[in-house]
Amino acid sequence: MNILGIESSCDETAAAVVENGRKVKSNIVASSLEEHKIYGGVVPEIASRRHAEAISGVVSEALAQSGCALGDIDAVAVTFAPGLIGSLLVGVNFAKGLAVSSEKPLVPVHHLRSHVASNYISSDIEPPFLCLIVSGGHSHIVAVNGYTDFKIIGKTRDDAAGEALDKAGRVMGLEYPGGISIDKISPSGNADAYAFPHPKISGAPYDYSFSGLKTAVINAVHNAEQKGEKINIPDLAASFQKNVVACLLSNLEKAAEDFGYKKIVLAGGVSANSLLRSESKALCRRHKWRLYLPELKYCGDNAAMAASQGYYEFLAGVRAGADLNAYATMPIDIVKF
Ligand code: KG4
Ligand code: ZN
């Protein structure tokens, strides 16, 4: 089965063709990231305008590069939630038009489920497994017990890990997105130079809280400024990153031990982080757990992962009609449309 995937939840306009959920035949991504950099974050209005301009060409290119004609496509899968509503609507409406006019089934796909599926196109992993999903908007520990069977074990109470890295990067005067800048600059810094708290939530051992860390980094910069001291940005970045990674992995370790998972999976934009990748490898080696990491090209937003998850949703009988809407928020475990 060939699934055409369409993804437009944030600032990437993407389309891809994937065969049987695993074999990527094409994967086209057009990003408006450069335009957002001067604002220090994604400007929703700009992102949706760029999606509207790019989507038709991106989908045509994905079909052309896959070697498939529209007639060879068995279903159209589209990200419908969660994300920026104006951005999502562009992909959803394009997919609806395409599905109706070509009489193909329309399969709505949850964006975080797609991030999990980035592993299906990177390796031969099959559920059940425990997955740490870390993106710009979410930090979840999820038990993936089947391709469409998700149970949230833990999640952030405030900021997502990516959001915390991006905000910290901004305070440090680094280029947006801060997560990528901090990853780049950290090897030249001393990760033990600054101490950060390790927030714990009583009664919720798998939940995260990152907003306090963000405040701590802001305070470190302001205190230094007030004292007329020069802050060492690589040291600060390396220390902050070390702390975020330690927080992410300590809850993941506890969840894997408590629930008995021996297959560990990472997903989402922050799974591209070099320290998170190396530390999760070390953690899994210590416990003799099997670790799966998405290929770097599938960590950020793309449509190959949406087409992959779309295939499994299709097999599970998930279909939407021409009344499909987009939703800014939606839990990964209870998907409604
Ligand atoms: O999954 P994603 O592309 O979009 C969302 O669904 O949110 O994740 C974007 C997030 C941003 O916060 C970005 O800073 C972070 O992923 N990110 C990274 C790295 N690459 C992207 N964070 C740390 N290290 C990286 N190498
Ligand atoms: Zn994403």
Report the pLDDT value the prediction gives residue 214, as an integer from 0 to 100.
87
Contact 125, 175 (CB under 8 A): no
Report the pLDDT value the prediction gives residue 313, as an integer from 0 to 100.
98
Residue 273 beta carbon below 6 angstroms from any ligand 1 atom:
yes
Please name the residue whose Cα sits nearest to atom 22 of ligand 1: 179
List of E strands, 235-311: 263-267, 290-292
Cis peptide before 197 (omega within 30 of 0): no
Residue 179 beta carbon below 6 angstroms from any ligand 1 atom:
yes
Rounded Cα gap, residues 144 and 79, in angstroms = 19
pTM of the entire predicted model: 0.97
Q: Ligand 1, from 115, 180, 293: best to mutate by most atoms within 8 Å of Cβ? A: 180
Q: Please give the distance of CA 333 from its chain centroid, rounded to a whole number.
A: 16
Q: What is the pLDDT of residues 143-169, one digit of tens each?
A: 999 999 999 999 999 999 999 999 999
Contacts of 34 (CB under 8 A, 6+ apart): none
Residue 159 beta carbon below 6 angstroms from any ligand 1 atom:
no
Contacts of 234 (CB under 8 A, 6+ apart): 185, 186, 188, 189, 190
Compute the distance from residue 176 Cα to the ligand 1 centre, in Å.
10
Residue 12 beta carbon below 6 angstroms from any ligand 1 atom:
no
Residue 294 beta carbon below 6 angstroms from any ligand 1 atom:
no
- Strand partners for 77: 5, 107
Q: Ligand 1, from 112, 116, 139, 165: best to mutate by most atoms within 8 Å of Cβ? A: 165
Burial letters for 166-201: b for 16+ Cβ neighbours within 10 Å, e otherwise? bbbbbbbebebbbbbbbbebbeebebeebebeebee
Report the pLDDT value the prediction gives residue 120, as an integer from 0 to 100.
98
What is the DSSP secondary-structure string of 81-93? ESS-HHHHHHHHH
Q: Ligand 1, from 33, 270, 297, 298: best to mutate by most atoms within 8 Å of Cβ? A: 270
Smallest-distance ligand from the CA of 269: 1
Burial letters for 116-151: b for 16+ Cβ neighbours within 10 Å, e otherwise? bbbbbbbeeeebebbbbbbbbbbbbbbbbeebbebe
Q: What is the pLDDT of residues 102-112, one digit of tens each?
A: 999 999 999 99
Rounded Cα gap, residues 276 and 283, in angstroms = 10
Please name the residue whose Cα sits nearest to atom 16 of ligand 1: 269
Low-confidence ranges of the chain (pLDDT < 70): none
Please name the residue whose Cα sits nearest to atom 2 of ligand 1: 269
